[in-house]
Amino acid sequence: MSCKAFIFDLDGVLTDTARYHYLAWKQLADQFGFHFDEKDNERLKGVSRIRSFEIILEINGAENRFTEEEKEKWANEKNQKYVELIRAITPDDVLPGVQAFLDDAKSRGIKLAVASASRNAPQVLESLKIADKFDYIADAGKVSKTKPDPEVFLVCRDALGLKSEECIGFEDAQAGIEAIHAAGMYAVGINVDVTSEEPDLHLKSTAELNVDRVLAAAGQA
């Protein structure tokens, strides 16, 4: 079976918004006197907005401090700070090697899609000026279950009219690698902080992205 599509996570694969997520959560955590550092932030990668807040509460033994409604309210407040911060994103923020990789894949007829847990994905892609390179964009607004559930990758696969074996997923987060595998796809990890499931091909950074290398590793050259 030949590869017909590449499906990309956004944050940490196409651009690095983890820093902005961190700064926005840090501001909220400080407001409550909660501990939250960059190591803790690793646990929020690929995880939904509300689940991210719950993890911060768990780290601080404060699981029961807020009602569901209050959690929504504070998560929304974090999002407002995040939206302000990502206004600064420009095409220079596309990670190294990504533009060339997308263009090379496209010129070979490989379909491109985005499978992001972020509701802000469309805005970030517009700011990066790469939105029009993708045949399909699935953000958290289009799915009901977040990674490690495979839904967002399956939504992309179905929208492209393909089979799982014809798709290769790219992720920087442990939850994302699990989601790609659960979708029955080959997983390329970019600088993944592996705590359980290993990607099939592990790259240190996006600068190592190369279409021939990826297809050869997936046995599809």
Q: DSSP 3-state assignment of 84? A: helix
- The pair of structure tokens assigned to 181 is 């595998």
Interaction pattern, residues 142-181, with ligand B16; x per rule: CB under 6 A = -------------------------------x--------
Cβ-Cβ contacts under 8 Å for 56 (sequence gap 6 or more): 25, 28, 29, 34, 36, 40, 44
Tell me: does residue 52 bind ligand B16 (CB under 6 A).
Answer: yes
**Is 46 a residue that touches Mg ion (CB under 5 A)?**
yes
Binding mask 138-177 for Mg ion (x = CB under 5 A): ----------------------------------xx----
Residues 200 and 24: their CA atoms lie apart, in Å, by 32
Distances (CA, A) of 78 to 10, 22, 24, 82, 206: 19, 10, 6, 6, 28
Euclidean distance between CA atoms 160 and 163, whole angstroms: 9
212 as an active site residue: the answer is no
> How big is the chain, counted in residues?
221
The interface region with ligand B16, picked from 42-50, 57-65, 156-164, 205-213 by CB under 6 A, is: 42-50
> 11, 40, 139, 172: which one is catalytic?
11
Confirm or reject binding of residue 79 to ligand B16 (CB under 6 A): yes
Query: Using CB under 6 A as the criterion, which residues of the chain lie in contact with ligand B16 when the complex forms?
Result: 9-12, 21, 44-49, 52, 79, 116-120, 140, 173
Residues noted as catalytic: 9, 11
Query: Using CB under 5 A as the criterion, which residues of the chain lie in contact with Mg ion when the complex forms?
Result: 9, 11-12, 46, 172-173
